[in-house]
Amino acid sequence: MRVRPKENKIFNPRMECMSRDELRELQSKRLRETVKLEYENVPLYRGRMDARGVKPEDIKTVDDLRFLPFIEKTDLRDEFPFGLLAAPKSEIIRIHGSSGTSGKPIVSGYTQNDVDVWTEVVARALTAAGGGKDDIIQVAYGYGLFTGGLGAHQGATKIGAMVLPMSSGNTQRQILMMKELGVTMLCCTPSYATFLGESIREMGISPEELNLKSGCFGAEPWSEEMRVNLEELLGIDACDIYGLTEICGPGVAFECLEKQGMHVNEDNFIIEIIDPVTEEPLPYGQSGELVFTTITKTGMPMLRYRTRDICRLNDAPCECGRTHVRMDRITGRTDDMLVISGVNVFPSQIESVLVGLDGVSPHYMLIVDRVKSKDKLEVQVELTEEMFSDTVAEIEKLRDDIKEKIKSVVGINTKVHLVPPKSIPRSEGKAKRITDNRKI
């Protein structure tokens, strides 16, 4: 764990620490404006609201949100590329797109206002992770249609930091620049940060020789154990940051240095948790699907966007003084869920088993297959260098241990395959951890 004193800096205290009553007022006002904008400009919304008999005037407060129809990724595909714009095309100054890890591409259009909103929320995230104008921030998220690179870049510029726009890849050069320039903060996916950390060790550089103090890591699920490992590897405070292209990109929610969940930027995004099957809203504390409504965007606002991300909300006050609710780590996606012989399996469950064990690294791969109509799950796990040189008996014991632990957590039998260190391909962006070979 870090011994560095905890800095508590807040970028926009007026918005981030507003009373819940005042926030509700503001959300309701902004929601009314967004609903009107959508109804008047986007045929899909108008059609769906008319079909439900809902008029913009019916939506008065945040409580009326539940009367609105949902929107989801398939709608963005069907309306690709400009069908959901609420602003004239001439007002759109930027396009971003999803990395397409889950299917056909989707794009989102941003007005100047939308880029400004997004920039501000990332500035808040970087500030919460201890960032300011004296920092040197290395952005190792990919630049391009993917929102990670430019998103972090804009936020870092906004707080007046010195930005190093490395983009992803070219690990040796990343490390060289990090060391020579005295980079203080790193922004990339947690899996790439771990890989950078491991590579730094291999090059014989110790974290003390670097000037790194913290980082904002997101764009893919990770675990508390991965955080501990990353913090040790790089000698930093590692904060989580969440976002998605449809809503703006990274910065929708972010962790403060309390590291007890991510504050949702509720003055810009209303968050709901629903039961993915009944579609009914769930109370705080219950696990369900995240749904976001943007209330300050003008290019392609989203009303009740179903993210497919599974998570829990926490409205307990935070030590940092921010009043915005926090979301826990994403524990899975309704569509990433593997159904193996009828059992729902989330990769995060397997990960939680692996990261708690000595002798294995946080790199793994799940391979699903169907043999003679029976589903098989193989879990490939990388051994650490120390374990790799251990006796066969010990390695076998570790394998049995993993198999048993997975069985007790997930409830299914798996084949555990222990592989040599560094043999699972590393990703420079989002890690790919599932290969499903079943032809169903």
Q: Where are the alpha helices (DSSP H) in 79-208?
A: 112-128, 147-158, 171-181, 190-202
Residue 256's binding partner among ligand ADP, Zn ion, none (Cβ under 5 to 8 angstroms by kind) is Zn ion
Q: Which of residues 248-287 bind Zn ion (CB under 5 A)?
A: 256, 258
Give whichever of 329 and 399 is closer to ligand ADP, judged by the CB atom: 329
Residue 221's binding partner among Zn ion, ligand ADP, none (Cβ under 5 to 8 angstroms by kind) is ligand ADP
Give whichever of 410 and 431 is closer to ligand ADP, judged by the CB atom: 431
Rounded to a whole number of angstroms, the minimum distance from the CB of residue 124 to Zn ion is 11
Q: Which stretch binds ligand ADP (CB under 6 A): 120-128, 224-232, 236-244, 387-395?
A: 236-244
Q: Which of residues 326-355 bind ligand ADP (CB under 6 A)?
A: 330, 333
| 320, 350, 387, 431: which one binds Zn ion (CB under 5 A) | 320
Give whichever of 39 and 305 is closer to ligand ADP, judged by the CB atom: 305
| 7, 64, 72, 220: which one binds ligand ADP (CB under 6 A) | 220
Whole-angstrom distance, CA of residue 168 vs CA of residue 145: 13
Give whichever of 263 and 306 is closer to Zn ion, judged by the CB atom: 263
| 195, 242, 305, 346: which one binds ligand ADP (CB under 6 A) | 242
Total chain residues near ligand ADP (CB under 6 A): 19
Residue 226's binding partner among Zn ion, ligand ADP, none (Cβ under 5 to 8 angstroms by kind) is none
Phi-psi region of 328 (alpha: psi -120 to 50; beta: other; left: phi over 0): beta
Residue 102's binding partner among Zn ion, ligand ADP, none (Cβ under 5 to 8 angstroms by kind) is ligand ADP
Q: Which DSSP string corresponds to 328-357?
A: ----EETTT-EEETTEEE-HHHHHHHHHTS
- Phi, then psi, of 348 in degrees rounded to 5: -60, -30
Residue 258's binding partner among Zn ion, ligand ADP, none (Cβ under 5 to 8 angstroms by kind) is Zn ion
User: Six-digit token pair at 183?
Assistant: 């980079």
Residue 245's binding partner among ligand ADP, Zn ion, none (Cβ under 5 to 8 angstroms by kind) is ligand ADP
Whole-angstrom distance, CA of residue 325 vs CA of residue 253: 9
Among 223, 248, 240, 347, CA closest to 307: 248
Contact 140, 196 (CB under 8 A): yes
Query: To 10 degrees, what angle do helices 112-128 and 147-158 make?
Result: 70
Whole-angstrom distance, CA of residue 109 vs CA of residue 95: 5
Contact 228, 236 (CB under 8 A): no
Whole-angstrom distance, CA of residue 410 vs CA of residue 336: 15
Q: Which stretch binds ligand ADP (CB under 6 A): 42-50, 54-62, 235-243, 407-415?
A: 235-243
Contact 178, 212 (CB under 8 A): yes
Whole-angstrom distance, CA of residue 153 vs CA of residue 148: 8
Binding mask 66-105 for ligand ADP (x = CB under 6 A): --------------------------------xxxxx---
Q: Hunting for tokens 């769930």 — which residue is that?
A: 282
Residue 333's binding partner among ligand ADP, Zn ion, none (Cβ under 5 to 8 angstroms by kind) is ligand ADP
Total chain residues near Zn ion (CB under 5 A): 5
Q: Which stretch binds ligand ADP (CB under 6 A): 85-93, 238-246, 291-299, 315-323?
A: 238-246
- Strand pairing report for 305-311 and 288-294: antiparallel
Among 366, 401, 370, CA closest to 381: 366
DSSP state of 74: H
| Residues contributing to the site for Zn ion (CB under 5 A) | 256, 258, 318, 320, 322
| Residues contributing to the site for ligand ADP (CB under 6 A) | 98-102, 218-221, 240-245, 307, 309, 330, 333
